[in-house]
Copies of this chain bind each other. A is one copy, B any other.
Amino acid sequence: MPTYTAPTRDTRFVVNEVLDLASYGNLPGFENATPDMIDTVINEAGKFCAEVLAPVNQAGDEHGCTRHEDGSVTTPPGFKEAYQAYVESGWGTLGQPVEYGGQGLPHVLSFALEEFSGTANQAFAMYPGLTAGAISAILAKGSDEQKAAYVPKMISGEWSGTMNLTEPHCGTDLGMIRTKAVPNGDGSYAITGTKIFISAGEHDLTSNIIHLVLAKTPGAPDSVKGISLFIVPKFLLDENGEPGARNGVTCGSIEKKMGIHGNATCLLNYDGATGYMVGEENKGLAAMFIMMNAARLGVGIQGYAQAEVAYQNAVTYALDRRQGRALTGPADPAAKADPIFVHPDVRRMLMDAKVFTESMRALCLWGALQVDLTHKAQTPEEREQADLLIGLMTPVIKGYGTDKGYDIANNMQQVFGGHGYVREWGMEQFVRDSRIAMIYEGANGVQAMDLCGRKLAAGGGKAIQAFFAMIDEEIAAAKQVPELASVAERLEKALGEQKAATMWFMQNAMANPNHLGAGAHHYMHIMGIVTLGFFWLKMAKVALDKLAGEPEDKAFYEAKLVSANYYAERFLPDAGALRRKLEAGSEYMMKLPAEAFATAA
């Protein structure tokens, strides 16, 4: 059975040493985040996820969820107990507002938890994850009554939440949704339609499920401008605000999927179910985007989370499994063979995983800090800067993070040879589970278009200019430091490729928007590669500073310097190749007619 240890030492390094979270103590909500509190939350969250959630991960895959004839759904063995423990420990309350029963701690800490829970048990972590997304939409757009009625019990974990967007004929293109919302005359609406792929849509973990549903009111515009958002509770609330009458929403089936078997992916039938509009009529998409942006960051975390647990198990296996001899001569002459850890190709895969997961962790925790700064930074300029950066980075974190995270999970499976392909070792589950992250919350092609078609151009390119300036500054400083110069120079070259690619888009995409579409995925990857390089440079600088002080865990900081160099040598070169592909444009990509793709016998 695979094992998991939460990498809390590394999380503390990022939170305390790279981001210096304690230095934000003057911001509202950060005052409780004292250094002691930070370390305690990180360590306890890690312990909980490793000890309670990880042990039921494999059973979750094996048993999956079961839908019964009455439409009820049972989660896998152990999930109920684990969820109860999660609620009792109050893990869902970390980053939520104090006035609704939350702890009001910085998002950085709830993101750290999200990594650990998503690594320990992705299918499980989705239940509270979707609840958090639903909470954010109600908090942003709901009425005071709605907030008071639903949010406290969702924060406590007593109730859970869902997002209902997709219908059989539409996913990305939400303008086509058909679910209807007809006024009941009492302020509520009757919701009728079919939603599919609803994660955590029905289950036995909570006493109520609060569905957030996109639907169209009569006469609404036939486009995304005609979508409204509704709260549709599984059980309507009685006069005491407790779950009362069963509402008209039922689970018609659950999907048989490649992975995340422990999470119930439901087809939900809405049959005149009572719903309550959230925010303004026809403004549902904006409300849903609030949920979606939070969810996309969460999915980005999932991308490296599965890579992380796969990596940990691959390291153990590589040190244990003996096969062949080191190329430089026997490493353990007394034994019949050396551990496969000595083979460069195995080490390559492990190093790739190490440098990817560690820098993704830094990126995501930095992203969480930007989310907080968007609301809480002291000056409007700082708030705008944070908002620009996190808006720009969200599709990169989601798109690049999950593409590459999946690659890494596959490489870790590869370390196991044939044993990686059989179920008992657990590696193939990590691969299957992580595959979904490239698809849901907007497939990665959609992320690429969000980045290139929307975010790059927003505000006259303000966001990307801020991004370039942030990295230029780090490079300029690092080039003066001999130990960092090589990494800085390689990063400068890769950043140059990104700048050139950006320029190419500016010069060519207006004339033919297909040039943008053809290069968007390449651009997203260039930017992901550069961004992680930036975080390696940042981390290397912190490590170097620490080493000057002769710290106790010298080896930890030395490893950061080696890893930064490895990243610079092994990841950054791809930026150049991707730029060349991008600059090829769309001519040959779009030239062939549909018939040319048909298979001729």
A interface vs B, CB < 8 Å?
Answer: 5-10, 43, 46-47, 166, 169-173, 176, 196-197, 255-259, 265, 312, 315, 319, 322-324, 327-328, 336-337, 341, 343-351, 354, 406, 410, 413-414, 417-418, 420-424, 428, 431-432, 435-436, 438-440, 443-445, 448-449, 512-514, 516-518, 520-521, 555-556, 559, 562-563, 565-566, 569-570, 573-574, 576-578, 580-581, 584, 586, 588-601
| Contact present for B443 and A344 (CB under 8 Å) | no
A498 to chain B: closest CB distance in Å? 14
Task: Decide: A346 and B445 in contact? CB cutoff 8 A.
Answer: yes
Residue in B327, B350, B595 whose beta carbon sits within 8 Å of that of A555 in the complex? B595
CB distance from A576 to the nearest CB of B (A): 6
Report yes or no: B172 in contact with A417, Cβ–Cβ below 8 A.
yes
Bound complex: CA A520 to CA B344 (Å): 9
Q: Are the C-beta atoms of B431 and A435 separated by less than 8 Å?
A: yes
Is there contact, CB below 8 Å, between B327 and A597?
no
Chain A to chain B contacts (Cβ below 8 Å), 19 pairs: A8-B601, A10-B599, A46-B601, A47-B601, A170-B323, A173-B322, A258-B432, A312-B599, A328-B512, A343-B445, A344-B590, A350-B597, A351-B588, A418-B440, A420-B439, A555-B593, A562-B591, A573-B580, A574-B574
Q: Which residue of B lies closest to A3 (CB)?
A: B599
A217 to chain B, nearest CB (A): 19
Looking at the assembled complex, report how far the CB atom of A328 sits from the nearest CB atom of chain B, in whole angstroms.
Answer: 6
Which of A570, A589, A598 lies at the interface centre, i.e. has the most chain B CB atoms within 10 A of its CB?
Answer: A589
Instruction: Check A345 against B588 for contact (C-beta < 8 Å).
Output: no
* A258 with B421, Cβ < 8 A, contacts A319-B594, A343-B445, A351-B589 known: yes
Residues of chain B within 8 A of A586, CB atoms compared? 344
The answer to whether B566 touches A577, judged by C-beta atoms less than 8 angstroms apart, is no
Provide the residues of chain B in CB contact with A344, threshold 8 Å. 514, 516-518, 520, 586, 589-590
- Distance between A295 CB and nearest chain B CB, rounded to angstroms: 14
Given known pairs A354-B597, A574-B577, the reply for A414 and B431 (CB within 8 Å) is no
| A336 surroundings in chain B (CB, below 8 A) | 176
Task: Report whether A516 and B327 are in contact in the complex, using a CB–CB cutoff of 8 Å.
Answer: yes
Also in contact, A517 and B345, with CB within 8 A (given A5-B601, A435-B421, A580-B573): yes
Chain B positions within 8 Å of A312 at CB level? 599
In the bound assembly, the distance between CA atoms of A593 and B444 in angstroms comes to 36
Q: How far is the CA of A422 from the CA of B196 in the complex (A)?
A: 12
Q: How far in angstroms is the closest Cβ of chain B from A561?
A: 9
Question: Shortest CB–CB separation between residue A188 and chain B, in angstroms?
Answer: 29
Q: What residue in chain B is nearest A562 (Cβ atoms)?
A: B591
Tell which of B46, B315, B337, B439 touches A414, judged by Cβ atoms closer than 8 Å. Answer: B439
- A592 adjacent to B559 (CB under 8 Å): yes
- Using A345-B521, A417-B439 as known contacts, list a sample of 19 further A-B pairs with CB atoms less than 8 Å apart, ordered by residue number in A: A7-B600, A9-B601, A169-B322, A171-B417, A256-B423, A256-B424, A257-B428, A265-B422, A344-B516, A344-B517, A345-B520, A348-B589, A414-B445, A418-B439, A555-B596, A563-B592, A570-B589, A573-B577, A573-B581
B256 engages A422 (CB within 8 Å): yes
The CA of A110 and the CA of B322, in the complex, are separated in Å by 38
- Asked if A323 and B173 make an inter-chain contact with CB atoms under 8 angstroms apart, the answer reads yes
Contact across chains for B423 and A514 when beta carbons are under 8 A apart: no
How far in angstroms is the closest Cβ of chain B from A45? 11
**Residue contact A328 to B166, C-beta cutoff 8 Å:** no
Complex CA–CA separation, A255 to B431 (angstroms): 18
Q: Which residues of B contact A257 (CB under 8 A)?
A: 421-423, 428
A73 CB, nearest partner CB in chain B, Å: 16
Of the candidates B327, B341, B514, B517, which one forms a contact with A513 in the assembled complex, judged by CB atoms under 8 Å apart? Answer: B327
A423 to B424, CA, bound (A): 21
User: A556 contacts which chain B residues (CB < 8 A)?
Assistant: 600
Given contacts A315-B597, A345-B521, A414-B445, contact A173 B258 (CB under 8 A): no
Measured CB to CB, the closest approach of chain B to A185, in angstroms, equals: 31
Q: Is the CB of A173 within 8 A of B324?
A: yes
| Chain B residues within an 8 Å CB radius of A341 | 594
- The one of B46, B171, B562, B578 in contact with A418, judged by C-beta atoms closer than 8 angstroms, is B171
Say which residue of B420, B443, B518 sits within 8 Å of A348 (CB atoms). Answer: B518
List residues of chain B with CB within 8 A of the CB of A555.
593, 595-596
Docked Cα-Cα span, A591 to B439, in Å, equals: 36
Which of B322, B328, B580, B584 has a CB less than 8 Å from the CB of A514? B328
B343 touches A517 (CB 8 A): yes
In the assembled complex, the Cα of A597 lies from the Cα of B343 at a distance in Å of: 15
Contact present for A517 and B596 (CB under 8 Å): no
Residue of A197, A354, A573, A581 most packed against chain B (CB within 10 A)? A573
Q: Is the CB of A417 within 8 A of B432?
A: no
* A595 / chain B contacts, CB cutoff of 8 Å: 555
Q: Contact between B565 and A601 (Cβ–Cβ < 8 Å)?
A: no
Given contacts A323-B172, A559-B596, A573-B581, contact A414 B428 (CB under 8 A): no
Residues in B whose Cβ lies below 8 Å from that of A354: 597
Distance of A422 Cα from B324 Cα, bound (Å): 40
A172 touches B324 (CB 8 A): yes
Please report the C-alpha to C-alpha distance between residue A105 and residue B265 in the assembled complex, in whole angstroms: 51
- Complex Cα gap A590–B341 (Å): 10
B176 touches A337 (CB 8 A): yes
**Complex contacts, A347 vs chain B, CB 8 Å:** 518, 589-590
A418-B166, A566-B589, A569-B581 known; A327-B514 Cβ under 8 A: yes
Write the chain B residue with the least CB distance to A515: B344
A520 vs B6: C-alpha distance when bound (angstroms): 33
Instruction: Contact check, B417 vs A517: say whether CB atoms are below 8 A apart.
Output: no
